[in-house]
Chain A
């Protein structure tokens, strides 16, 4: 089966600019996660969707980050305006819902560099 697709793979922007990342989860997966991974750290959950509804965005910096999942399939994560500390890899993952014994599948991530 096709995996989780993310684009772009790399992005370099100047601080205060805007950027958007796209994720296409595995077909049929209702749960979608966005993570931020700063170099040397474990992935940090930013937002979790169940279909097109948000179930957890407690760690999303809402003054500059936004995410949506229209029609419960693809998702976009936006940063506006970007800061230097937003430099990280942004990972998207998907899984079946409501079951704690199922695995999550991750994309390869988008590496963002803010200069």
Chain B
């Protein structure tokens, strides 16, 4: 499985932007980069995904490096509700079936 590397934890203040980094130096040309987050006592939820170009949606932005070996999830204005574990995942295909393999993620702490 292709691997991702994320910091164990990050801290932010409310209303400030947050940049969550992810390294994926072994990414293949057809792997999509997905981000999920897990709020306390909840199942993971999808945040955003991309292949090569930067992506924006109502929750966040995803900035992908030109060589695709790293990406950054951007929360433009952190709120207390954004405190969660954020997972960077490479959506890959093995024997024709897509896999969804989680790492340890980054725990985001948001202070008022």
Chain A residues in the interface with B (C-beta under 8 A):
4, 31, 33, 35, 41-45, 48, 50, 55-56, 91, 93, 95, 97-101, 103-109
Contacts and interface: CB of A to CB of B under 8 A. Distances in A.
A48 B46 contact: no
A101 B49 contact: yes
A86 B32 CA distance: 32
Report the contact-size class of chain B (Cβ under 8 Å from the partner): 20 to 34
Interface of B: 30-32, 34, 36, 41-46, 49, 51, 85, 87, 91-105
A104 B46 contact: yes
23 contacts: A31-B97, A42-B87, A43-B44, A43-B102, A44-B102, A45-B101, A55-B95, A55-B97, A56-B99, A91-B43, A91-B44, A93-B43, A95-B100, A97-B97, A99-B98, A100-B92, A100-B93, A103-B34, A104-B100, A105-B46, A106-B43, A108-B43, A109-B42
Nearest to A53: B97
Given A101-B49, A103-B34, A45 B99 contact: yes
